[in-house]
Structure 1
């Protein structure tokens, strides 16, 4: 009979331990594989951001909002074409802001590029911010209502990083939504009206290429103008587990601020409302470019983003996630 068969329990245990000690060490996993070396958070962020962008832009709601935004320049262009088909001018009664909007609409028949500026002026007061409010309000609350938020937090992302990615995805939607309006307007304007050298609202002509550059700059400024609303929507989204409630609250706050902006008796508070300097982008169609209003607008948006972004971080990092 062999020693292994006659050995007692203690001897068997000792034999097993010695065999385990003599066994060769496991082969190390490749660097970056799951469960061994974790890449720093900075390198995980792009992958998480790509995932969030995919989620944002694959939703039918987001695609429907972009479709509505793309249709607005078409409606404006067709309306102007019909109104001026008999050789008459463009009426200014329905202009977006009563100032720069009138100047932009009245120039569409002379240069189709002005349809870009007119469409942005028409969509910025309501259509663009409404779309952003819906996406921002649903960013966190939608995950909670679907029951996927706690699974996101199980991943090694961290609450602060996840919130930052959510905000970045909303800002990406702001840019895509603005470009959707601008590109749709550019295509319709070039199709229905002549294009060429651009006469600024100061009366100074500039080359068409510079006009295109200014259009791109204005689109970027308009997207930046929605930063404050995006931060407000993100904060509201951390307060509830109902995506519908968060979206409705964000859009309701937008409408309330727009009403306050239209009350003359509240002139003292108007400069502090995030909507007050939205139309300052018209100064970029002057010659020379006027930056004062644009910088005040972007500074105000950054202040709103800092305040409500901090509030969202404080709420989200201390919130008890149960769904």
Structure 2
């Protein structure tokens, strides 16, 4: 394959051409000097900037930010005449009945609504495209010209995906907090156990919930990164990751397969609700963190084993 830079045009083509040229120049300049930790951090910073400045990434953030707004407006309209959410039958996402009493609960409602599909889908798109997208655009070989090595490149990719997990979760949480504060009263928070805590402590619990939701996506991020090393097609890797997510979610919802549910990465995703109890129930929370750690270690290692032995042709 020719090492000529991709044709520069508009949009993604221009971006990838510039990225390839930058990587080639970086490699040429770095070839005469040893790799340093500062250079490594600079490479990671470049990966973060490239990923977070893409229009696709910004569009995903926009969709995630819109979900809490839609939920909040829907609840406000439904309860404006003195009615109850869902007609009082308990239908709807978790915590939605408490939103009208305290806007902070819109954070928990929005995270519960986006975690089963919207948040994981965005992570699947970013993780699936991490390596395969570079190969598909013809920039992967340019990135490896620099003496970073495949291990550092893969580590930078994985770190970037994890940063996206945290950022995407915070986008949902911040949008929900702002919408909830604008549309509903805020103040003392009544927990699921019936205990009331100050609003400040409620905010701290909301921050803890956001951190736990972001950590819940580690397993999927590692799986997506592994799939991304198996193909040179970014679209195929993204589709495979999202398809696997949907399949696992379906399996996790079948009661007859309950014996394998504790081993599926989404099984404990909604355990963050235990943060809203006094005292906090840690059993399922720790199981979730442990399970995500296992998935992350296994599939990140598999991605490394695959990538370090892969014949790079693009």
- Output the TM-score relative to the length of structure 1: 0.86
8 A contact 2:31–2:147 mirrored in 1: no
CA distance in 2, matches of 1:248, 1:278: 22
Structure-2 separation of matches of 1:150 and 1:228: 27
Q: Which residue of 2 is the match for residue 23 of structure 1? A: none
1:213-264 per-position Cα deviation (integer Å, ceiling 9, x unaligned): 1111110110000000000000000000000000000000000001001111
Query: Aligned ranges for residues 1-323 of structure 1 at < 5 Å?
Result: 34=30, 36-40=32-36, 42-91=37-86, 94-96=91-93, 101=94, 104-323=95-314
Instruction: Output the CA distance in 1 between the equivalents of 2:91 and 2:295.
Output: 31
Distance across 2 between alignment mates of 1:44 and 1:277: 38
- Cα pair 2:128 2:228 within 8 Å, conserved: yes
CA–CA distance in structure 2, aligned partners of residues 296 and 276 of structure 1: 10
Measured in 2, the distance between the counterparts of 1:36 and 1:47 equals 17
Q: CA deviation at 1:39?
A: 4.1
CA distance in 2, matches of 1:87, 1:232: 46
Q: Structure 1's 64 and 35: CA in aligned 2 closer, same or farther, altered over 3 A?
A: closer
- Give the distance between the partners of 2:225 and 2:249, measured in 1 at CA: 19
Change (3 A) 1:231 1:189: same
Cα distance change, pair 34–319 in 1 and its aligned pair in 2 (3 A):
closer
Contact 2:31 2:146 in 1 (8 A): no
Instruction: Report the Cα offset of residue 36 of structure 1.
Output: 5.0
Structure 1: state its 5+ residue gaps: 1-32
Aligned to 2:9: none
Q: Secondary structure at the match of 1:219?
A: helix
Query: CA 1:34/1:166 → structure 2, altered by over 3 Å: closer, same or farther?
Result: closer
Q: State the Cα RMSD in Å.
A: 1.2
Q: Distance in 2 between matches of 1:220 and 1:247?
A: 24
